[in-house]
Amino acid sequence: MRQNDKVMCILENRIKRDRKNLCRAIGDFQQSFQKPETRREFDLSDPLALKKDLPARQSDNDIRNTISGMQKFMGEDLNFHERKKFQEEQNREWSLQQQREWENARAEQKHAEAFYTETRLQFDETARHLQKLESATRKAACTSVKEFNKSQAIESAERKKQEKTQEQEDNLAEISNLLRGDLLSENPQQAASSFGPHRVVPDRWKGMTQEQLEQIRLVQKQQVQEKLRLQEEERQRDLDWDRRRIQGARATLLFERQQRRQQRDLRRALDSSNLSLAKEQHLQKKYMNEVYTNQPTGDYFTQFNTGSR
């Protein structure tokens, strides 16, 4: 029994060893000649099938990118990152360009404001100068009127003094004639009235003498000359005032013409600036139209939300 048990153990060990060797041989054979990738259905259960498989599209122009394949959509191109980087660079360039244009427009605006301020200062200086001229002219006119009035007052005082002296002399003469006169004589001086040299006593008056007639003519001539002189002075005064009024109106007209000329020059400068800005905007719009050549149409926006995707 011990011998049989020993033999059975030896046989069992041999069977196990043979089975193990057979399994190892089968495994080696399968590893060498029956690999999984050599099977016909291996592509259905290959764990590395996705890694080994070709991508859905190798380029944007791949012939496998059919319409029904739905492998290429707007904005999903392979050079998305390069295109996005280029667009960001382009946006940065546009932003810098807009910033430069804004700075140039601001500099031009500051220049226009400085030019406007300088023009206004020139207008104010011209108005101040014309005001000074007007004040000087008015002062000269007032001085001339004052001198004229002063001379008129002196002449009037002198005339009144002469009239008073003449009246005193006439009174003295009348008194002397009355004292030395004879009522019954034929002396014509006796008809002189005590109320004035221009009046006579009717019952004593013998007629006017040649001296009286000459005196009357002389006084009339003096009155005529005095009236002519006063008329000439009044005419000269009116001419002086007319000349000064014409000079003031001419100065005002020249000032208004100068203001209109300056306003016309300023308007021309503003028109030129606006024209240059319009040209720059037109060139900018033309440049933007050249850059954005592929303008989206209505068909581009109507293709969205047309399917379940």
Give the pLDDT band of residue 140 (cuts 50, 70, 90). Answer: very high
Q: Which residue has the higher pLDDT, 235 or 75?
A: 235
Residue 270, pLDDT score? 92
* Selection from 176-180, 246-250, 286-290 with the highest mean pLDDT: 246-250
Asked if residue 258 belongs to a domain, the reply is yes
Asked if residue 92 belongs to a domain, the reply is no
| 277 and 221 housed in the same domain | yes
Burial of 134 by CB count in 10 Å (0-12 exposed, 13-18 middle, 19+ buried)? middle
Asked if residue 228 belongs to a domain, the reply is yes
Q: Token digits for 193?
A: 């009235």
| 169 and 200 housed in the same domain | yes
Say how far apart CA 161 and CA 167 lie, in whole Å: 10
Residue 303, pLDDT score? 79
Strand pairing partners for 200? 192
Q: Which residue has the higher pLDDT, 197 or 259?
A: 259
DSSP string spanning 206-225?
----HHHHHHHHHHHHHHHH
- Under a CB-based contact definition with an 8 Å cutoff, are residues 112 and 267 in contact? no
Q: Which residue has the higher pLDDT, 288 or 137?
A: 137
| 203 and 240 housed in the same domain | no
Burial of 192 by CB count in 10 Å (0-12 exposed, 13-18 middle, 19+ buried)? buried
Asked if residue 278 belongs to a domain, the reply is yes
| 176 and 231 housed in the same domain | no
pLDDT per residue over 201-212, tens digit each? Answer: 777 767 677 787
| 199 and 243 housed in the same domain | no
Asked if residue 239 belongs to a domain, the reply is yes
Say how far apart CA 63 and CA 61 lie, in whole Å: 6
Calculate what percentage of the chain has a pLDDT beyond 70.
Answer: 88
Say how far apart CA 142 and CA 149 lie, in whole Å: 10
- Backbone φ and ψ for 200, nearest 5 degrees, come out as -130, 165
| 171 and 218 housed in the same domain | no
Asked if residue 229 belongs to a domain, the reply is yes
- Under a CB-based contact definition with an 8 Å cutoff, are residues 182 and 190 in contact? yes
Q: Which amino acid is at 36?
A: P
Which residue among 142, 177, 207 closes a domain? 207
Residue 184 scores a pLDDT above 60: no
| 191 and 216 housed in the same domain | no
Give the domain extent around 172: 165-207
pLDDT per residue over 122-139, tens digit each? Answer: 888 988 999 999 999 999
Q: Which amino acid is at 91?
A: N
Q: How many domains does the chain have?
A: 2
Asked if residue 156 belongs to a domain, the reply is no
Asked if residue 9 belongs to a domain, the reply is no
- Under a CB-based contact definition with an 8 Å cutoff, are residues 225 and 234 in contact? no
Residue 280, pLDDT score? 92
Residue 113 scores a pLDDT above 70: yes
Q: Which residue has the higher pLDDT, 257 or 53?
A: 257
| 273 and 244 housed in the same domain | yes
Say how far apart CA 171 and CA 197 lie, in whole Å: 9
Say how far apart CA 43 and CA 257 lie, in whole Å: 100
> Could you tell me the CA-to-CA distances from 216 to 178, 198, 239, 273 in Å, in that order?
21, 9, 34, 84
Average pLDDT, the chain: 84
| 189 and 242 housed in the same domain | no
Give the pLDDT band of residue 309 (cuts 50, 70, 90). Answer: low
Residue 181, pLDDT score? 60
pLDDT per residue over 222-253, tens digit each? Answer: 999 999 999 999 999 999 999 999 998 999 99
| 236 and 254 housed in the same domain | yes
